[in-house]
Amino acid sequence: MKIIGIDLGTTNSAAAIWQNGQVELIPNRLKEYLTPSVVHIGQDGTVLVGKAAQERLLTHPNATASVFKRYMGTDRKLTLAKKSYSAPELSAFVLKSLKEDAENYLGEAVTEAVISVPAYFNNTQRKATILAGELAGLKVERLVNEPTAAAIAYGLHEKPEHTQFIVVDLGGGTFDVSIMEYFEGVLEVHASAGDNFLGGEDFTEILVNKFLSSLNLNKTSLNPNELQLVQAQMELAKRQLNQADLIHVEPFIKAQKQPISLYKEDFLKLSEPLWQRLQRPIETALRDAKLKPSDLDEVILVGGATRMQYFRSLIAKMFRRMPSANLDPDLVVAMGASIQAGLKARDAALEDLVLTDVCPYSLGIGIHNENDHLGTQGNLFSPIIERNTVIPCSRISAYNTITDYQTAMTLEFFQGEHRLVKNNISLGKLEVRLPKARKGEESVTVRLSYDINGVLEVDVEVVSTGEKHYKMILNTPSQITDKEIAASKEKLSALKFHPREQEVNITLLARAERLYEGRLGQEREEILNALRWFESVLEKQNNSEIAEAQTRFGEFLDQVEQDRLF
């Protein structure tokens, strides 16, 4: 019986299998190794997973879910097409899709998997992951920590005992650092640190802002589709700046009439605060593990954003050694999970120990958002206790009044990782009265204390009067019962999945619809004509004709996306 290895990621997921003494990555229905962790549920109850769903994030935001891994182990539900889904249920759709791809690739049923989880996942989050597997029809007898999986893929368990190393994982939106040691068949995480608000997307954002400011524009002057085009173009620019010192961006939105030059030097300078922030968790982890950079035998890179050339040179400078990067950083975790699965099948699985008793989520309060001109964002999240802090812990932050003669402050507490509180989980509120004063002159201190039983205590003090407020919040998500699991299974089984072979067509159609919505005039007309033509070919149900049309339609859409018609 075959056991597959799965990296169930925040942005992308991947699966692999250990076969004939080596790792084989499993291609999905679109013949790609990465499946976006995005789920779309249509009005008629049909489910789309991966790229087809990702295409709908912009056109059908209320029926499409992404980044739900952040809510694993919480009671938070997301509503899609008027029904609510938990994070394990949404993850189950992704796992089901990977399972089907594996079955198609291997030509046999797959019922068991080893799934990777972040090292900082607590017991509740781990149980939620196992439940997601169960809902997808996969037995998950074993989870593997993501840094451990990466280490195994690099063969660190075959190194001499006491090998110490660091795994640096920079994804699209999160940064995780783990310091590990291999000793007597055990891979142990000695320290882990991270920043939930730092990832490759922040570097793209720097280029987006730079590009817009050279055109004297800001984000509010563009429509959502134009903004997405700018983001996609700057994503490309970011990759090109790995090789080139200077790139020219030809006009591609209406407001741009001339090519714009982007210099690598400017990009590196503008992203200086981000480079600084990247160093902090590395220093914290080293300090916690009581190690110096030179004590480490190896540096392993995970996550797409570690492809940034400057990031690599920074890491090389910090550790005075070249990082190990010969495996694809987006696939290395799935590869390691599949090796662990292979070892498990032979009863030789590696032990995998982690630091436990860390606070699994960031905890903090909502603060005023100055940039929310349109009123769509709501308050910003100000974390007080950062995720991953060893518990019990207690942290304090101060907050000033923001208007003149403000006499009250409503403090709302949240758990989560998003910079906007509306995407985090509200835990409760506390209202505090203040003496009248000019803005900024009155302040409160907020102390949050979190203990091993998931109890959060809030102590607020008005600085000028010394008045104290106290609130206790029980922060343990409710346990899922067998009855609820059965209900989940029934709910999911009522949904329909598109036949695998149709997914290429659905992805192409969703992409064309997105492009249609974003364009006007003649270009829109051309997209519509191509869409109609493709639909007419599909109706004829001739497989070889459809295959040919897929290629032609795909190339046409590529061209639309790259063309600078303005």
Residue 331 binds to ligand AMP (criterion: CB under 6 A): no
Residue 339 binds to ligand AMP (criterion: CB under 6 A): no
Q: 252 with 564: CB under 8 angstroms?
A: yes
Contact window for ligand AMP (CB under 6 A) among 196-204, 360-368, 462-470, 558-566: 196-204
C-alpha to C-alpha distance for 352 and 186, rounded to whole angstroms: 6
Q: 363 with 448: CB under 8 angstroms?
A: yes
Residue 200 binds to ligand AMP (criterion: CB under 6 A): yes
With respect to ligand AMP, which residue has the nearer C-beta, 239 or 524?
Answer: 239
Residue 205 binds to ligand AMP (criterion: CB under 6 A): no
What's the closest the beta carbon of residue 553 comes to ligand AMP, in angstroms?
A: 26
The three-state secondary structure class of 129 is helix
- Residues 94-113 touching ligand AMP, rule: CB under 6 A, are none
Size of the site for ligand AMP (CB under 6 A): 18
With respect to ligand AMP, which residue has the nearer C-beta, 69 or 519?
Answer: 69
Q: Which of 185, 173, 170, 237 is nearest to 210 (CA)?
A: 237
Residue 323 binds to ligand AMP (criterion: CB under 6 A): no
Contact window for ligand AMP (CB under 6 A) among 71-79, 207-215, 256-264, 305-313: 305-313
Residue 171 binds to ligand AMP (criterion: CB under 6 A): yes
With respect to ligand AMP, which residue has the nearer C-beta, 64 or 389?
Answer: 64
- Residues 216-255 touching ligand AMP, rule: CB under 6 A, are 235, 238-239, 242
Among 305, 365, 384, 411, binds ligand AMP (CB under 6 A): 305
Residue 506 binds to ligand AMP (criterion: CB under 6 A): no
| Residue whose CB is nearest to ligand AMP in the complex, by number | 200
Residue 364 binds to ligand AMP (criterion: CB under 6 A): no
Q: Which of 293, 295, 306 is nearest to 332 (CA)?
A: 306
Residue 307 binds to ligand AMP (criterion: CB under 6 A): yes
Longest dimension (CA), the chain: 79
With respect to ligand AMP, which residue has the nearer C-beta, 200 or 342?
Answer: 200
C-alpha to C-alpha distance for 246 and 292, rounded to whole angstroms: 37
Residue 303 binds to ligand AMP (criterion: CB under 6 A): yes
Residue 50 binds to ligand AMP (criterion: CB under 6 A): no
At residue 204, φ and ψ (nearest 5 deg) are -65, -40
The three-state secondary structure class of 183 is strand
Q: Which of 169, 164, 161 is nearest to 145 (CA)?
A: 169
| Other beta carbons less than 10 A from residue 97's beta carbon | 26
With respect to ligand AMP, which residue has the nearer C-beta, 117 or 308?
Answer: 308
**Residue carrying the six token digits 């104290």:** 468
What's the closest the beta carbon of residue 350 comes to ligand AMP, in angstroms?
A: 24
- Residues 76-95 touching ligand AMP, rule: CB under 6 A, are none
With respect to ligand AMP, which residue has the nearer C-beta, 232 or 455?
Answer: 232
What's the closest the beta carbon of residue 119 comes to ligand AMP, in angstroms?
A: 16
Could you list the beta-strand ranges (E) of 294-420: 298-302, 351-353, 363-367, 380-385, 393-400, 408-415
User: What's 160's DSSP letter?
Assistant: P
C-alpha to C-alpha distance for 245 and 229, rounded to whole angstroms: 23
What's the closest the beta carbon of residue 309 comes to ligand AMP, in angstroms?
A: 8
Residue 516 is encoded by which pair of tokens? 């249609």
Q: Which residues pair with 398 in a beta bridge?
A: 445
C-alpha to C-alpha distance for 58 and 375, rounded to whole angstroms: 19
Residue 118 binds to ligand AMP (criterion: CB under 6 A): no
**Residue 50 CA neighbour count, 13 Å, CB half:** 26
Q: In angstroms, how far is CA 406 from the centroid of its own chain?
A: 38
Residue 172 binds to ligand AMP (criterion: CB under 6 A): yes
Among 2, 12, 144, 149, binds ligand AMP (CB under 6 A): 12
Contact window for ligand AMP (CB under 6 A) among 127-135, 198-206, 226-234, 401-409: 198-206
| Other beta carbons less than 10 A from residue 422's beta carbon | 14
The three-state secondary structure class of 84 is strand
What's the closest the beta carbon of residue 180 comes to ligand AMP, in angstroms?
A: 19
Residue 401 binds to ligand AMP (criterion: CB under 6 A): no
With respect to ligand AMP, which residue has the nearer C-beta, 146 or 503?
Answer: 146
C-alpha to C-alpha distance for 25 and 27, rounded to whole angstroms: 6
Q: 12 with 303: CB under 8 angstroms?
A: no
With respect to ligand AMP, which residue has the nearer C-beta, 246 or 487?
Answer: 246
Q: Which residues pair with 142 in a beta bridge?
A: 114
C-alpha to C-alpha distance for 5 and 333, rounded to whole angstroms: 9
Among 57, 80, 166, 308, binds ligand AMP (CB under 6 A): 308
Q: Which residues bind ligand AMP (CB under 6 A)?
A: 11-12, 171-172, 199-201, 204, 235, 238-239, 242, 303-305, 307-308, 330
